[in-house]
């Protein structure tokens, strides 16, 4: 009977996705008006609207030693942005707001991140 409960418990977890499936998207990352990345990337979204951008090729850099950029929603129109380097360093880039004119973009005075 214990084995049956264990199988049922493990089976229920296997039905839940551990992370969002990455999908190809058009992405843009700008800093101080300079385009750092523009092109196809992998886009993984969470249920709350947070998302992650990565290189379209597995384990490749998105740009300049940056492997991943994450936009984490903290309130309806505000998000924290972090970047992870190929050296394993994670850095906080700052807070961004959702663009009123470009809903696929999140920006502040220094940088902009978009995914379509």
Within a domain: 13: no
pLDDT band at residue 20 under the 50/70/90 scheme: low
- CA-CA distance, 17 to 64, in Å (whole number)? 31
Q: Which residue range(s) make up the domain with 111?
A: 23-115
Question: Is the pTM above the cut of 0.85?
Answer: no
- CA-CA distance, 29 to 63, in Å (whole number)? 10
The encoded tokens of residue 70 equal 């994450």
Within a domain: 10: no
DSSP state letter for 24: E
Structural domain count, the chain: 1
66-103 pLDDT tens trace = 999 999 999 989 999 999 999 999 999 999 999 999 99
β 90-98/23-31 pair status? unpaired
Within a domain: 49: yes
pLDDT band at residue 10 under the 50/70/90 scheme: very low
Q: Which residues pair with 96 in a beta bridge?
A: 79
């Amino acid at each position: 009977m214990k084995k049956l409960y264990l199988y049922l418990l493990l089976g229920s977890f296997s039905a839940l996705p551990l992370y969002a499936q990455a999908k190809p998207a058009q992405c843009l990352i700008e800093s101080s008006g300079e385009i750092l990345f523009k092109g196809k990337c992998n886009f993984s979204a969470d249920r709350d609207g947070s998302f992650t951008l990565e290189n379209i090729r597995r384990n490749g850099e998105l740009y300049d030693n940056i492997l991943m950029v994450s936009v984490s929603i903290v309130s309806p129109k505000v998000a924290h942005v972090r970047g992870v380097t190929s050296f394993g360093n994670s850095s906080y880039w700052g807070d961004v707001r959702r663009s009123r004119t470009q809903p696929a973009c999140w920006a502040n005075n220094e940088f902009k991140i978009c995914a379509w």
